Structure 1
Amino acid sequence: MTNHRFRSEPGHARHDASFGGYRRPVRVASFAAAFALFALFLAWHASDDDEASPTDELPLSRAQAQSASRVPPASSISPASPATMQTAASDATGAPNPNAGSNAALAAAPRDDANSTDLVKRGEYLARAGDCMACHTADNSRPFAGGLPMSTPFGTIYTPNITPDPDTGIGRWSDAQFVRAMQEGIGKSGEHLYPAFPYTEYTRVAGRDLLAIRAYLNTLAPIRYAPPRNDLSFPFNQRWLMVFWNLFNFREGRFVPDPKMSPQWNRGAYLVEGLAHCEECHTPRNFMQGLKTSERFSGEVQAGWHAFNITPDKAGGIGNWSDDDLVRYLAKGAVAGRANAAGPMADVVENSTQYLSDPDLRAIGVYLRSLPPVAGGATRARDQWGKPADDVTRLRGTAIAGVNGAQLFLANCATCHAWTGRGIGADKPLAYPSLIHNSAVGALDAGNLAMVILHGVSRKTKDADVMMPAFASELNDDEVAALANYVTRQFGDPRATLTAADVAKLRVRQP
């Protein structure tokens, strides 16, 4: 954009310096005062409105829950076939139809179709793809009833009840209100939803798919439960400020298939950029907490957990993973010699990706491989580090003084991971994973390793119930730091080190 500089004519110099110079500050000051009064009015009005509707927020996927209960599946789901998944939301190429979410489509949708068994099944599948259950369940006895506390830099938000209860849930929401919330970030009463809720991604989802999700939610048992009120500090509890955030960080609009790409690529793009909202965790944030589009999918640290780089770079990302590796990881949460899902990613596998069909998982992989590779400073892949240990013989008969990482490893970890670090069980579903060629151990940031030591691992899939005990109550900060540093030095990237102060900060994070 050309920066035009205006010049005063010579004959007007005196006028600008005296008379004009006097009026300009007065006008600016008057405008500022008027704007301040207007802003105060809006703030008061928004605050008053917030009091009247405390539970209509949608979940913040970027925020991390302060306490989370594991939720059993709503039902036994058999992944739908690609043909079923694309019904009413796809064009002839197999890619989603951008016109499927139009207002005309909403108005014309037949009511008997909205209640059909096929639509509900498809909605259940899509709700799994969107990982709705994970955020909307704080108590296993109240599935989808909300109340999960989510910690943000601005305070705590409690997820809403999305069961069809008419008083505390979404039973009185119209289909149009539901779709508008998902695609535009506007709540039932016209209020702005907070931007960490992935409406920035859900905006790309076809309206027919959102109506399928709504049809499924309508079949849930209504639960009368009002989640706690949000606890956000001023001015972040003023919803009207989201207008400005959206101006810089939100582009509303449905996914448009790329005719130059294959139907499989378009399907993967539709899932990754839409319901699966992968960017919300794997893309760095700008100073406004919006996504840095220049560094898409290059990794981000959230609440102590590092969502790793998933671009196709061979050193920094997943460029050396095979197609089968990607599918296995998303379906089972573990790939021997590569990675084992823990923390928030274990929740994603448990509640979402393990239920996706093989064609959809492979489509996700096709799309991820097409992204621009980002090395992020990495020169060696995370899963290419490590060698077997022999400290058990070196320490035999040796007097140990102070905090010793090798001794801590043998005392706390060797039973399951073997004293060599090779693990037990190879690639069996219930194997104790090897620490050699392990992406969490080989990462330059040892935060995930420390979080696993502190908080353990819990991951339930259709073929395995994986559990690693937490050691937060067994080891102090110095001991966790020494243990983590030993593991990274022996089995991972030796440059990844932690101090006791680093561990203390991670200890209070959500597991």
Structure 2
Amino acid sequence: MSRAKRPQGRAADLNATVFAGSRRAALKSRRRVWKMATLAAAFSLFALYLAWLEANDEAAPHHTDESPLGQAVAQASGRASGAAGPGPDLVRRGEYLTRAGNCIACHTSDKRRPFAGGRAIGTPFGTIYTPNITPDPDTGIGRWTDGDFARAMHEGIGKEGERLYPAFPYASYTKVTDQDVRAIRAYLNTVVPVRYTPPSNSLGFPFNQRWLMVFWNLFNFDEGRFVPDPKQSAQWNRGAYLVEGLAHCGECHTPRNLTQGLKTTERFSGAIQAGWHAYNITPHKTSGIGGWSDQELVGYLATGVAPGRANAAGPMAEVVEDSTQYLSGEDLRSVATYLRSLKPVDRGETRSRGEWGSPASDALALRGTKIEGVNGAQLFLANCASCHQWTGEGVGASAPGAYPPLMHNSVAGASDANNLTMVILHGVRRTTQDVDVLMPAFDRELTDPQIAAVANYVTTRFGNPQSTVDAEQVGRLRATAQ
């Protein structure tokens, strides 16, 4: 009996095992189905949420708050005089605000066609070309309504509903009041229409998918107009409006995070833009501008020069030339007041950029000396001393057209040699109402090792001796698109 029952018991055990295995497999299958269903439901809910946001953004009423160019490119007097068009006061205000926002800098690749776009803006994800914002109906914004223009400025959304890339600083422009946006639009309607289609953006997948900007905005963009702080003065509030909004200073002077949004914890503490160092403009005594007087700050923004401190070059020279030199003294003082109130950010410098250096006497030591190889002192004497003197003391003292001294100069005293190298490579061009400043470029005259030698000589003799550059770094800076 027992022998006859054992096979049946084994079969029963086997059947039970198979049943249990099948049950476990079925449970796993059902769990996978539930997981997939839950994931699909979550994605659907998120998509519905985004659609709801889009619908409500479009349906919601917009706020109605308030906040070169030049006569050669404007037709304000002719168009503004029409009964149906904007008044001349609005157009003049728009021209001033357009200068404050420095719109011409990014939207002009050829000075013969201002605001027609086409300027290449390099990003870690590829190259973006700025659009034509002249009133041409086919290639510009001539068919845009005022609402289309306001939505682009405030929300980063184009006429056809396309997401704009944050190379257009809508994350800052969102703070600009509706009245000021209307004034800017009124002015742009008066500039000469230019029929020109800029090149297409050169962005690889997936960065060429504009809809992905929805996710960028979730982490880096807060839509909304500037709200004055009642606890602060009118001057402080005006400065905050300009610095944080219309003038978008943080877009260059704030480091970027992994997604290329601004690092809010390091606001205005300095960043690298197209090879140039946009310096720390917080009121830290050594790392920033804490040692500058209000007069020096205002003078620098108005002329590009703060004697014994800095001389604007590169992108900052362009900002002075196209924008800040035209701002009123009241607005410049407001900017200075607001910058003073920022949280100081320490970047570890032991001395401020303008405190380094003393006159050199190397010319005497080089007399009769046989020079072999690449010698920074010899190259300096041959290429730089005619303007800056062999002592490095410059010519013309603090006169508007002076050749600046190299000691007590922020470019030579910086903690890196980026800007000094870029100045040697590309020179300086800065035109203000007082003077035309020109330093020749040496990118075609000197090799990478020679430029490195000159830069290292200048930082060692007149600036921060810890700031050095090698030929390889010069080569990378030379190759950086401007």
Could you tell me the TM-score, scaled by structure 2's length? Answer: 0.86
After superposition, give the CA deviation of every residue in 1:3-34 in whole Å (9 maximum; x if it has no partner). xxxxxxxxxxx9x9987655444444567689
Alignment RMSD: 2.3
Do residues 130 (structure 1) and 101 (structure 2) align? yes
If asked which structure has higher relative contact order (CA below 8 Å, sep 6+), I would say: 1
Change (3 A) 1:502 1:117: same
Amino acid at match of 1:122: R
Amino acid at match of 1:151: G
Kept after mapping to 2: 8 A contact 1:183/1:204: yes
Aligned to 1:143: 114
Distance 2:287 2:202 in 1: 38
Change (3 A) 1:27 1:455: farther
Distance 2:386 2:363 in 1: 12
Distance 1:29 1:469 in 2: 65
Aligned to 2:253: 282
Structure 1 residue 114 displacement after superposition: 5.9
Q: Residues 14-25 of structure 1 correspond to what in structure 2 (within 5 A)?
A: 22-25=29-32
Amino acid at match of 1:357: S
Pick from 174, 198, 204 the counterpart of residue 227 of structure 1: 198
Do residues 350 (structure 1) and 346 (structure 2) align? no
Change (3 A) 1:362 1:19: farther
Aligned to 2:70: 74
Distance 2:245 2:332 in 1: 14
After superposition, give the CA deviation of every residue in 1:190-226 in whole Å (9 maximum; x if it has no partner). 1110022110000001000000000001111211111
Distance 1:113 1:315 in 2: 55
Do residues 462 (structure 1) and 433 (structure 2) align? yes
After superposition, give the CA deviation of every residue in 1:291-315 in whole Å (9 maximum; x if it has no partner). 0000000000122100000000010
Change (3 A) 1:18 1:472: same
When Rg is computed on C-alpha atoms for both structures, the one with the higher figure is 2
Do residues 203 (structure 1) and 199 (structure 2) align? no
Pick from 217, 233, 237 the counterpart of residue 266 of structure 1: 237
Aligned length: 432
Structure 1 residue 165 displacement after superposition: 1.0
Pick from 146, 153, 157 the counterpart of residue 175 of structure 1: 146
Amino acid at match of 2:69: P
Q: Residues 323-362 of structure 1 correspond to what in structure 2 (within 5 A)?
A: 323-362=294-333
Change (3 A) 1:17 1:247: farther
Do residues 152 (structure 1) and 148 (structure 2) align? no
After superposition, give the CA deviation of every residue in 1:158-198 in whole Å (9 maximum; x if it has no partner). 11111111111111101011001000001001111002211
Amino acid at match of 1:317: G
Aligned to 1:120: 91
SS in 2 for 1:205: coil
Distance 2:84 2:458 in 1: 56
Aligned to 1:365: 336
Q: Residues 242-321 of structure 1 correspond to what in structure 2 (within 5 A)?
A: 242-321=213-292
SS in 2 for 1:301: strand
Aligned to 2:50: none
Aligned to 1:103: none
Change (3 A) 1:36 1:269: closer
SS in 2 for 1:274: helix
Higher mean alpha-carbon deviation, 147-156 vs 391-400, is at 147-156
Could you tell me the TM-score, scaled by structure 1's length? Answer: 0.81
Do residues 410 (structure 1) and 381 (structure 2) align? yes
Kept after mapping to 2: 8 A contact 1:336/1:434: no
Aligned to 2:371: 400
Aligned to 1:388: 359
Kept after mapping to 1: 8 A contact 2:121/2:167: no
Change (3 A) 1:37 1:389: same
Aligned to 1:42: none
Structure 1 residue 487 displacement after superposition: 0.5
